[in-house]
Amino acid sequence: MNPDFIPWIILFLPLLAAVVIALFTQHDRKLSAGLSVGAVVAGFVLSLVFIKLNGWAPAHEVSVAWLTIGDLQADFGLHFDPLSLLMMLIVTGVASAIHIYSWGYMSEDRSLPRYFACLSLFTFSMLGIVLANNFLQLFIFWELVGVSSYLLIGFWFERPAAADAGKKAFITNRLGDFGFLLGILTAWAWFGSLNFAEVNKGVADWKGEHWLLTVAGLLIFCGAMGKSAQFPLHVWLPDAMEGPTPVSALIHAATMVAAGVYMLCRVFFIFTPDALTVIAWIGGFTALLSAVIAVQQDDIKRILAYSTLSQLGYMVMAVGLHGPTQAMFHLTTHAFFKALLFLGAGSVILAVHHEQDIWKMGGLRTKMPVTFWTFMVGTLALAGVPPFSGFYSKDGILAQAAQHSLPLFVVGAVVAALTTFYMFRLVFVAFLGKSRSEAAGHAQESPPVMVWPLRILAFFSVVGGLIGIEELYGTQLATEHTEHAVSFGQQLIGPFIHAPLAVGVGLLAVVIGYAAAYALYAKAAKDPLPEKLGALSRAMRNRFYFDELYQATVIRFHDFLAAAADWFDRCVIAGVGVRGTHGTTELAGRALRLLQTGNLQTYAFIFALGVALVLYMVLS
């Protein structure tokens, strides 16, 4: 068998599982779960087999003719290079751990088959994004990810909060995707192709205005702003916590939110230096804003959600600082430790009877030792403590910032300190001290089907920075932007100056964050910050009132437009247009109907009268 056929199997296995579950096995819970888990695990194994057979080969594609409409020609193709192959491994590997974990976590849910059907559809959609070789195919799978995430976030749709969260995620992403679609159409109009390789060649030969290419890049970036929840489209991600906890892990780890960062790195060739500057500052601001909000959240899943927002800001900032390699490296390590943290949070939530307030937990370290120690590994990796994986990828971004933008380097260092602070706040309150509730006092360790994925992810959270991922990405993502972003002298001496600076500042940030968390929360019975910070604390708890601001402006304006459109439809179109035309036609019909009497003498009289009138007009 041709090895290039294997990725087609990897791509369509989850879709086949979703279809079979939806149509045939809804009545059998175990079979449905087994089909979904088997499909994604088989995909992970086949990914390893394909890479073993092909190695990390130079970029190549396989495709079939798909669509021809006028000048538009699009293939359905798969693109293989180190970037897509490694991302395929991450998606199938992390998704496998989450699928297995879900079997235990969702075992009592009455809609288990529907859950696994949606999970398989999501995995299929994400793999489609990873392997796509053209913008049209990418956009279709991009929208499929949006649909499947809507189904998963609103999985418990009988709860109004879950239904609203699903709609909020879907609509917010449509705003970003509108800009993304305009960017794709712009690229097609200017370069005559949707294939990544051909558009890349067109950008290299671009003879038009510089600002036009900047606009195209920023429009495409709008898609990443939605999927990767960058300011101002960040508001949907924390509410996505209304879905089951394994869904939160799947969305917030290596899949949906990472799709935006992956897309930016895949089409990095289209971004001009001006566009990259905008991207860098939006990423930096998102990282800082989210970290500040996380400091005063009490819901364990919301803390991790804002942590994801902050880390995504790091990645986007790295892309904007001419560092797609650093962004993808952090995306990869983040996939391991953030999935670990969310699954650890799910283990805690299940043990304390679905309580999510960290101030109603406490004392879980001794009752749930595996969950505690694996959660601690994830925390240390997220904080960037050596030798855990996050240390290497986070400090790579800080070094990139030190080389390109001192203000953003300061932002990155502050975010690193805040990250350590709010994560150890969570650990001190939820796992240490005494039990703060009856549920926490009777908590027990989760079953093996849930703790073994934690152990596996903890292992990769430790070694993920040492297995050559950055070098592999570096060979793929060496672009003209990267080569010409700095002078020759900076390229030569930059790593020797900025890397030690980044490491030193990063470690200092960890020490400061840990010391502050220990001083405030190691023995705290309640949160001391609300009294110390006052109105600022309330603003942080209420997420700086962005939802209220959007409700008062964007949504109210939308409602006004909808009401105006309704009035115009009823009064102008239906009233003057449809009803006016209808009324005029009916009146004319009534008048003409008076002439149709059915009486022969009347018709003869009218005929004679008409002849006389004609003769009079002719003779006069």
User: pLDDT by residue (tens digit) across 572-607?
Assistant: 777 666 666 767 777 777 777 766 777 777 778 788
Token output for 581 = 């035309």
Give me the helices (H) in 273-405, please. 273-294, 300-320, 324-351, 364-367, 369-383, 389-404
Cα–Cα distance between 273 and 217 in angstroms, integer? 10
Cα–Cα distance between 559 and 319 in angstroms, integer? 37
CA distances from 569 to 492, 556, 561, 562 (A): 66, 20, 12, 10
Among 480, 390, 378, smallest CA distance to 426 is for 378
Cα–Cα distance between 10 and 84 in angstroms, integer? 13
Cβ atoms of 57 and 34 within 8 Å: the answer is: no
**What's residue 66's pLDDT?**
85
Q: In angstroms, what is the C-alpha Rg of the chain?
A: 30
**What's residue 585's pLDDT?**
77
Q: Which residue has the tokens 């703060």?
A: 436
Cα–Cα distance between 320 and 341 in angstroms, integer? 27
**What's residue 586's pLDDT?**
76
Amino acid at 193: S
pTM (two decimals)? 0.88
Token output for 601 = 């003498």
Cα–Cα distance between 341 and 390 in angstroms, integer? 13
**What's residue 39's pLDDT?**
96
Cα–Cα distance between 197 and 152 in angstroms, integer? 34
Q: With a cut of 50, which residues of the chain have pLDDT below it?
A: 479-496
Cα–Cα distance between 33 and 117 in angstroms, integer? 9
Cα–Cα distance between 545 and 538 in angstroms, integer? 10
Phi and psi angles of residue 598, each rounded to the nearest 5 degrees, phi first: 85, 5
Q: Which residue has the tokens 């603003």?
A: 539
User: pLDDT by residue (tens digit) across 65-77?
Assistant: 887 777 777 889 9
Cβ atoms of 35 and 103 within 8 Å: the answer is: no
CA 567 to chain centre: 37
**What's residue 112's pLDDT?**
93
Buried b (16+ CB within 10 A) or exposed e, 301-317: bbbbbbbbbbbbbbbbb
The angle formed by the CA atoms of residues 113, 118 and 119, to the nearest 5 degrees, is: 95
